[in-house]
Amino acid sequence: MATLALCALALAGGLVVVLSHAQVHQTGTNDVPLSVQVAALQGTQRVCQDGEHTVAGSAALRLTGAGGGGGAPAPALAVEVLDAATGAPLARGVAASWQGLHATARLRPPIARERPARVCVALAAPASAGGAALYGATAPPARSASAGGRPLDGRFRVEWLGAQARSWWSFAPTVVARVGRGHAFPGAWVALAAALLTSTSIALATWLLVRSS
Amino acid sequence: MAAGALELTRTARVPRRRRLAALVRRVPAAAWLCALAAFLNATAWSLITPAFQVPDEQAHYAYAEFLAQHGRPPVPRARDTFSGSERAALRDLKFATTMFVPRNGALWNPWEQARLQRDLRLERDRSGGNGAGSALGGEPPLYYALEAMPYRLAAGGSVLDRLALMRLASALMTGATVLLVFLFLRELLPGRPWSWTVGALGVAFQPLFAFVGGSVNSDALLYAAAAAIFYLLARAFRRGLSVRLAVALGAATAVGLMTKFNAMGLVPGVTLALLALAIRQDGGLRPRTLRLPALALAVALAPALIELALNVTVWDRPAIGASASAFRLGGDIHPTLPGALAYAWEFYLAPLPGMASPLGHLPLMDTWVTGFVGVFGWVETEWPVAVYRAALVPLAALALLAGRALLARRDALRARRVELLVYATTALLFALSVAGASYVGHLRDHTNNAQARYLLPLLPLYGALLALAVRGAGRRWAPLVGAAIVALAIAHDLFAQLLVLARYYA
């Protein structure tokens, strides 16, 4: 009994530590995998991609690729999000630095609602020595990103990010809502039922162990 | 006359019911509760895992749908095609862009959910498609025939309604597996009921087992069939091989053979066990010694022979489905025994100097231990490497404690050496058959089918390892070690669920 209580305490402690860890969570992606280089940004070239969807609550946009090369520093990227229907700018940002393969631009203003959009990327300082590459996957020309009206080989990956780092505790309502989608009877009940089932099975196992001993 | 017949039927039914009730009562309550815990846990996994984000679930669903709609199994084809409703579900669930890409989540946005619901309402076709003829066309139909029942129950609903009920049926099979593991441990290690509970609960909360058990996958029934085989073997070794046990063993093997071709890997071990049992019982090998083994094998093979006949005469499928599966041999490949043995070595252990390394430098760790500790989704959802390394510590401790238990009871072991040899050989031959299937695929198109779930039919032996570890701790420490094993298994399962939640929903 004492052992079980100790184990339960250790497990609860582990869960608290893991779930209290704060990080910036994705609010959405365009689901493009990373398999090829799609675009090479040089000089004043601007690469745009249609068929995007803004995600409400997003405050940053993360691109994957490579910057610099040949000794040149990784250049800053200028990102613009446009309304797909009107072409009006919805948000802008600059990814000033790269973290590994990622360049993250904080968007101003943050995205308030979901709507079809176009995402455009260019070098923030066209005169910078090094260029940058964007990674994504091949796609038919009609769906590909384009540069100067000419379709490229595919689509680049776009990840929408939340405003600030959040612990799993504060992010739990979002996870509960997402778990509830894609099911026969969608809704928050799915995550709650899963939690209840897991808790019941654990309680049953514990009771059985105590009784058997 | 009719009233008399009715009366006779009633009186025949009452004792049968009583017999069934007595049979159920003979199973300890702890076994039922372990099974219930496994069922609840697998059901939780079925809710957490997004639809079709389990290896080949889209193909298993398609086979069951084909069987339910057409009343026959599919025919092997060059490529898989699906019904309109399943295609719509796969498209709107972002199946193709989510699998293999850990940074792509499931449905996160309300508009994606709205699109899915609209399309599932509009697209009702269930008869199209070839039932995953390429992936599974040659596989036997038993699991899918069982899954056709929940499929029909939700016939008026959408793909997701049907999938949810079918996953629930798999979860039931997971519960049955744990029940049989408990009974196996009771026969194998009599005298310490506490260790049976620990072993069965350790299996119930093994996350890879629960993950597969919460999905539509024929492995769920294969695990149950394998657990039944191990239980019946242990029972026969303890109580002697009777006609009833021979028939039951044959039936359990038949269920395996009618579920998945991988079950063929269990047949040599079962045959060996039957021979060992019969020889022990008769005190030598005489023609009449083979009576019960022959009976068991006849029961095991009869359904497969009926399927063979139906394949040829009614279903227009290859006589032996294996010829259209991963085991397919053809004129263009030339397998050899030395080649197969060398491949099996590389498949499980580590390539020796001069050997090729189709699975990397240390498959034992990188594929098998890692996979058993837990790789989820389409084998792309994993923990950081450090977690798998850390898992070696409790695994090694379990092995040491189990070894200590065996060493302490080496006198008793000597008396049961044939039985233990049979379990070890059965496990080895089954593992070799898994490597053999991959070897054929490797020769054909340089693919390697190495996933830890293929070895989970040997879960009863894992349960035995856990139960032995409890015994190895000695009388004083056994309660502590038993509680720690179950607590660790529960923690393992819980953190695996969190890993999957983070992968698909955050």
Ranges of each domain in chain A: 26-163, 167-213
Q: Is the CB of A183 less than 8 angstroms away from the CB of B51?
A: yes
With CA atoms as reference, report the closest residue to A151 among A163, A140, A136, A161. A140
SS3 B330: coil
Residue B25's pLDDT is 86
Q: How does DSSP classify residue B367? A: I
Interface of A with B in 171-190 (CB under 8 A): 171, 174-175, 178-179, 181-184, 186, 190
Q: How far apart are CA B137 and CA B151, in angstroms?
A: 19
Report yes or no: A17 at the B interface, CB cutoff 8 Å: no
Contacts of A194 in chain B (CB under 8 A): 44, 47-48, 497
- Give the residue ranges of DSSP H helices in B154-288: 159-188, 193-204, 207-213, 219-239, 243-257, 267-282
CB contact under 8 A, B107 and A190: no
Furthest-apart CA atoms within chain B: distance in Å: 81
Report in angstroms the alpha-carbon separations of B464 from B201, B291, B406. Answer: 11, 30, 11
Q: Is residue B324 part of a domain?
A: no
* Residue B196, token pair as written in the block: 């049976």
Which residues of chain A make contact with B117, given a CB cutoff of 8 A? 186
> ipTM for the complex?
0.91
In B, which residues are within 8 Å of A193 by CB distance?
44, 47
Residue at B23 is within a domain: no
**A164 in contact with chain B, both atoms CB, cutoff 8 A:** no
- What pLDDT tens digit does each residue of chain B (506 aa) get? 444 554 555 555 667 788 888 888 889 999 999 999 999 999 999 999 999 999 999 999 999 999 999 999 999 998 999 999 999 999 999 999 999 988 899 999 888 999 999 999 999 899 999 999 999 988 999 999 999 999 999 988 999 999 999 999 999 999 999 999 999 999 999 988 999 999 999 999 999 999 999 999 999 999 999 999 999 999 999 999 999 999 999 999 999 999 999 999 999 999 999 999 999 998 888 888 899 999 999 999 999 999 999 999 999 898 887 666 667 777 678 889 998 999 999 999 988 887 777 778 889 999 999 999 999 999 999 999 999 999 999 999 999 999 999 999 888 888 899 999 999 999 999 999 999 999 988 888 888 889 999 999 999 999 999 999 999 999 889 989 999 999 999 999 999 999 999 999 99
CA distance B465 to B469: 6
Please report whether residue B298 resides in a domain: yes
Whether B499 is covered by a domain: the verdict is yes
Q: Select from B58, B108, B380 the residue whose CB has the most chain A CBs within 10 Å, as the one to mutate to test that interface.
A: B108
CB A167 within 8 A of CB A22: yes
Number of domains in chain B: 1
Identify the segments of chain A with pLDDT beneath 50. Answer: none
In-domain check, residue B453: yes
On whether residue B452 sits in a domain, the answer given is yes
Q: What is the 3-state secondary structure (H, E, C) of A21-61?
A: CEECCEEEECCCCCCEEEEEECCCCEEEEEEEECCCCCCEE
Length of chain B: 506
Name every chain A residue with its beta carbon within 8 A of the beta carbon of B157: 184
B107 in contact with chain A, both atoms CB, cutoff 8 A: yes
| Eight-state DSSP code of residue B444 | H
Distances (CA, A) of B387 to B22, B360, B495: 46, 19, 11
Residue B329 lies in a domain: no
Q: Quick one: which of B374, B406, B404 has its CA closest to B391?
A: B374
Chain A partners within 8 Å of B476 (Cβ): none
Q: What's B255-266 look like in SS3? A: HHHCCCHHHHHH
CATH architecture assigned to A26-163: Sandwich (2.60)
Residues of chain A with Cβ-Cβ distance to B109 below 8 Å are 28, 53, 55, 114
The three-class DSSP label of residue A66 is strand
Whether residue B484 and residue A212 make contact (CB cut-off 8 A), yes or no, is no
Helix B267-282, helix B243-257: angle, nearest 10: 170
State the CB neighbour count (10 A cutoff) for residue B9. 10
- Please check whether residue A77 is in contact with residue A123, taking contact to mean a CB–CB distance below 8 angstroms: yes
Rounded to a whole number of angstroms, the distance from the CA of B303 to the nearest CA of chain A is 36
Q: Which residues contact B3 (CB under 8 A, 6 or more apart)?
A: none
Indicate the residue of A4, A181, A186 with minimum beta-carbon distance to B487.
A4
Instruction: Tell me the three state secondary structure of residue B27.
Output: coil
Place of tokens 């990397």: B360
Which positions ≥6 away from B304 have C-beta within 8 Å?
B140, B254, B257, B258
d(CA B258, CA B263): 8
HEC secondary structure over chain A: CHHHHHHHHHHHHHHHHHHHCEECCEEEECCCCCCEEEEEECCCCEEEEEEEECCCCCCEEEEEEEECECCECCCCEEEEEEECCCCCEEEEEEECCEECCEEEEECECCCCCCCEEEEEEEECCCCCCCCEEEEEEECCHHHCCEECCEECCEEECEEEECCCCEEHHHHHHHHHHHHCCCCCCCCCHHHHHHHHHHHHHHHHHHHHHHHHC
Interchain contact A213–B (C-beta under 8 A): yes
Mention every residue, 6+ apart, whose C-beta is less than 8 A from residue B318: B76, B138, B311, B324
Nearest by Cα to B249 from B231, B264, B265, B237: B231
Tell me how far apart the alpha carbons of residues A80 and A72 are, in angstroms, rounded to a whole number: 24
Provide the domain limits for residue B389.
Answer: 33-316+338-505
What is residue A213's predicted lDDT score, i.e. its pLDDT? 73
B345 near A CB under 8 A? no
Give the nearest partner residue to A114 out of B109, B160, B479, using CB atoms.
Answer: B109
Q: Is residue B132 part of a domain?
A: yes
Nearest CB partner across the interface for B506, out of A15, A25, A206: A25
Minimum Cα–Cα distance from B163: chain A residue: A184
Check A114 against B491: CB less than 8 A apart.
no
Residue B311 per-residue DSSP state: I
A27 to B108: CB separation less than 8 angstroms, yes or no = yes
Q: How far apart are CA B234 and CA B239, in angstroms?
A: 9
Structure tokens at B502: 């983070």
